Amino acid sequence: MFTTTNSFWNLPMDKQRAAVFLDRDGIINADTSILEHPDRICLTPEGIDALRNLGRRYLLFVFARPDFSGKRIAPREVAYINLALDKLLRNSGVDILEWCVCPRALKDQRGCIDSDPFFLKQTAEKYGFNLKRSFIISINPQDFPATEALGIFSLFLLSGPSVTHLGNLPDDRLVFHSLEHAASWIGKHPIPMVDMDRALTDGACSIKAGGLVAFPTETVYGLGADAFNHLAVARIFEVKKRPLHNPLIVHIADIAQLEQLVDEVSPVALRLINRYWPGPLSLVFRKKSAVPDIVTAGQPTVAVRMPAHPMASELIRRSKTPIAAPSANAFGRTSATSAQHVLDQLQNVCDVLIDGGACRIGVESTVVTVTGTKPILLRPGAIPIEDMETTADTSILRKYMLPMENNPESPGMMNTHYQTATPIHIVEDCLPFAGRTDIGFLLFGQTGDTFAGPTRNLSHTSDLKEAAVNLYLAMRELDALGLKAIVSKLLPETGIGYAINDRLRKASFKPDGFDSQKD
């Protein structure tokens, strides 16, 4: 059974008087662009439900930036829009106590949340709540230093172009796919630092006892066990229904643990390690005999990764052992990029679920074998191969593009993988299917076209990193709608686009030839 914290929503109000501060544009209003007129208000039922749940236990405050992206909106227009939003939310049972505006164009910037948190302290005094038990949900990392200095816990929302700000966000800040996911997390972690520490302790105790733990990494969620406990590792294969010939990746927290697993680290491997670890790169080495054969599917090699996610690293350190972990999903299905995705597929099959929000990258790690004279790319990921070649000072062969052998050297090399229950078809053009309501569409960029069926746009701005973050979420959402099929074009073959297309090709039931009329 998964262990979880007690639901905060059942606590008496007097046990927790605190607040949640929310960015207006991109969080309250689903549209991430600056809101210039009430006609552009975009409230989702899921977002309203999330606000209603938060409002049961927290005081709610919203802040707006009228000069976001350098475009100044007059204070009267901002007030007019806020009034319209407030009315819509109140009619839905959501009470926003105050709508705060950041007056950046004014000389007195004490109302600007990302520079001087004066209004936060003023608000806390006015309403009598504890800032150190409060939260901020924003799409702007610049908001966090000032608010965190007051003890407010920050949550970052992966909303549209906000993904481009991830590089400015420290690794230990949690990110979420949506407001409802962030609100749910707050409900389960009312004292976040204490609650997360407890989850890590429970996870480490479970690993030491031979249990299974689902945990976040920067790529996807993993389902982990002590890499040296062959019985615990066998449970991974059992609960995932994973073929025994498909090897696992072993996760480590420091180089000393690498020495427990491999005999030799070549100069090329060392250059890649120095550049990309910790990070989304798995390297395949010759293994030591101490590594159980079940981890490596009987092969003489082992794939190793040092994850960058602080919660993954801390879990490994506390467990005091390398952790073998494939993605935390049923075998062959779409990988989990949030704790809810883990629950959807692996409910009640492992011992502890550590909820670390959403995964920042969204596709599995790059896998490169470094056992021969030339490194070989077995699975593309977030790291551009051209960058790796520059770092390795040698060319890298692309084996992932060849047909799979009977015994894959790493995960992700099966010809079919990452699949939804609804058939996915790769097409040259989505327009021939545009009139069908029984087909879902995975889109990329501004198309200007209208589709009768449900759509999910991986990135309206044609940002490949944003597309990777949204890929599995979008696939899962369309899969849940009971459609006849999902169609998608391939994305540009550059950067992380190689990894996205690799996942789409392997998820596709029919790579080509899907007929808009016959099928």
Encoded amino acid at 84, one letter: A
Q: Say if residue 471 is in the same domain as residue 496.
A: yes
Q: Give the model's pLDDT for residue 187.
A: 94
Q: Say if residue 156 is in the same domain as residue 234.
A: no
What is the mean pLDDT for each group of 10 consecutive residues in the chain (519 residues)? 40 66 86 70 89 95 68 71 91 92 52 64 90 93 88 91 84 94 95 96 98 97 97 96 92 97 95 98 97 95 97 98 96 92 88 96 96 93 94 89 58 72 93 95 90 94 94 96 96 94 86 57
CA distance 78 to 103: 11
Q: Give the model's pLDDT for residue 418.
A: 86
Domain end, chosen from 189, 205, 234, is at: 189
Is residue 414 included in any domain, yes or no?
no
Stated pTM of the model: 0.90
**What is the domain-level CATH number for residue 484?**
3.40.50.11030
C-alpha dihedral over 205, 209, 215, 220, to 10 degrees? 160
Q: Give the model's pLDDT for residue 413.
A: 61
**What is the domain-level CATH number for residue 77?**
3.40.50.1000
Contact 22, 137 (CB under 8 A): yes
Q: Say if residue 306 is in the same domain as residue 370.
A: yes
Domain end, chosen from 334, 368, 401, is at: 401
State how many domains the chain has. Answer: 3
Q: Say if residue 300 is in the same domain as residue 322.
A: yes
Q: Give the model's pLDDT for residue 302.
A: 97
Q: Say if residue 309 is in the same domain as residue 453.
A: no
Is residue 270 included in any domain, yes or no?
yes
Contact 304, 227 (CB under 8 A): no
Q: Give the model's pLDDT for residue 105.
A: 43
Longest dimension (CA), the chain: 72
Q: Give the model's pLDDT for residue 332.
A: 85
Q: Give the model's pLDDT for residue 252.
A: 98
In SS3 terms, 494-510 reads as CCCHHHHHHHHHHHEEE
Q: Give the model's pLDDT for residue 348.
A: 77
Q: Say if residue 110 is in the same domain as residue 143.
A: yes
**What is the domain-level CATH number for residue 295?**
3.90.870.10
- The domain containing residue 442 runs over which residues? 424-510
DSSP readout, 48-85? HHHHHHHHTTEEEEEEE-TTGGG----HHHHHHHHHHH
Q: Give the model's pLDDT for residue 449.
A: 86
